[in-house]
Amino acid sequence: RSLCDWSSDVCSSDLVKISPVMDLDILTGLAKSIEESDVVYCVVASNTLPNQNRAREDGRPALNFNDGNHVGGLAGAALFSKSLNVVEALGDLLPYMQVIGVGGIFDADHVLAYLRKGVSGVQCATAYLEQGPRLFSDIFESLSEKLS
């Protein structure tokens, strides 16, 4: 429910994390409910798809990553283009809401793609599991070069 339940002194709002809803009518209804809420301050999109039968861009199963050492919900590269579409739509539907982009962020180009869609920030999870902590310094170094 809330990342801030443990301390009302830290914040008094909630965030919502959604799947990449591809139906614009459903996404519009979700956005309306979020907008009408007095407590939601941030939308995180997106971490999984209702239909888990997906493949990565290279054809490998999306449910198998870290050289087959991890199997879980749909994550990573399989979400990238779908999540970009969702964050773009959310930006239009909720222009004053913070949106955090999630899904398929493995390098600086992925971060830049999300930033171009108007996100306030990004979350990397699958890439971190696959590449380890070095992922973040690689992304920051590359972003620094690209934005110089």
Q: What single-letter amino acid sits at 61?
A: P
* pLDDT confidence of residue 61: 61
**What is the rounded distance in angstroms from the CA atom of residue 117 to the CA atom of residue 92?**
10
**What are the DSSP calls for 10-42, one per residue?**
T-S-EEEEE-----HHHHHHHHHHHHH-SSEEE
Q: List the pLDDT tens digit at each of the 148 positions of the chain.
A: 333 443 344 444 577 777 776 688 888 888 888 888 777 777 776 655 544 555 667 776 655 555 555 545 566 777 888 888 888 988 999 898 888 888 889 999 999 999 999 998 898 888 888 899 999 999 999 999 999 8
Phi, psi of 2, rounded to the nearest 5 degrees: -125, 140
Residue corresponding to tokens 């890439």: 127
**What is the rounded distance in angstroms from the CA atom of residue 128 to the CA atom of residue 144?**
20
> 3-state DSSP call for residue 122?
strand
**What are the DSSP calls for 38-85, one per residue?**
SSEEEEEE-S--S----B-TTSSBTTEETTTTEE-SS-GGGGHHHHHH
* pLDDT confidence of residue 9: 40
* pLDDT confidence of residue 55: 64
Cβ(107)–Cβ(138) under 8 Å?
Answer: yes
**What is the rounded distance in angstroms from the CA atom of residue 2 to the CA atom of residue 70?**
27
